[in-house]
Amino acid sequence: MKKMTAGMAAVILLAGCGTGQETSETATADTGNAEQQQADTANGNGNATEGELAADSAETAMQDEGAPSAANGEIREFDLELEFTDGREWDFDYDRNKALIERDSGDRLSGQDAQDEFGRLFQSVQFSTSSPLEDIKREVLEAVNAEQPDVRDFELDVKFDSGEEMEIDHDVRNGVNSGEVGEFSLELQFTDGGEASYEFESDGREAEIERRDGSEIEGANAMKEMEQLIGQVTITMGRSIDDMKTEVLQALSIDAAEVRDLELEIDYRGGEEIKFSHDAE
């Protein structure tokens, strides 16, 4: 009787151990499945196939990229022309309907490839009238992988959706900067439709002023007034359009709020030419 009881107890004990092991393995498997499901959910995988995941990833990338835009506002049109000291020329042309990049090396981009490069360019440069001209130039050249010492002429024209337009043209012949003013040209367009212009040329001792009211002045009087104006303003690449525009209009006693478009060009005897314009629309 005692032997029989002991044997039955052993069978019960073994059955109990087996049940406990199976329960433990089942629980472990369920926990692993639950953790995998949580990981899949967190990663957005679920039960998707690799092909479906790749398609979703590509679609997300396209949505994130979107249309090229600047860090400080939507760009409607963009034009950049570079002339190098060795004669090479690069052109960058963008609007909402087309994008084209041409380099002398034979590198030509269009379509989505050009759109992508413009997108990176617009995001890396602060196209602002409050930024020094030399900073904008440096950032643009870095973005297009051009060495600044190799660039002789830099021409940039940017138009924003707001209607605002800014233009910068910097030409350094033979690497020489600044010097005495050789030529000075200023053109103003006012919000009421009026215009004014101020012209100066040192070599021929010539000057001409056309005022907003339609009156004109030439000769010695114009030369004296222009020399006074040039002596009151500082036009350099180290200053912003906003600063130089404010200084010029203050020297002429003109209210900035009445000026819609300002275009200024100055040629120095040393060979440097600086031109900038701002159309506030």
What pLDDT, in 10s, does the model give residues 88-141? 999 999 998 899 999 987 789 999 999 999 999 999 999 999 999 999 999 999
Contact present, 249 and 261 (Cβ < 8 Å) = no
Neighbour order of strands in the sheet with 151-160: 108-110, 98-102, 89-95, 75-84, 151-160, 165-172, 272-279, 259-268, 181-190, 195-201, 206-210, 216-218
pLDDT of residue 52: 43
pLDDT of residue 135: 97
Which one-letter DSSP state was computed for residue 244? H
pTM reported for the whole predicted model? 0.74
pLDDT of residue 174: 62
Could you give the CA distance from residue 218 to residue 220 in angstroms, rounded to a whole number?
7
Mean pLDDT by 10 residues, the chain (281 residues): 38 40 45 48 45 39 44 82 95 94 88 94 95 97 95 97 96 75 97 97 96 96 97 96 98 97 95 95 79
pLDDT of residue 183: 96
Amino acid at 65: E
pLDDT of residue 196: 98
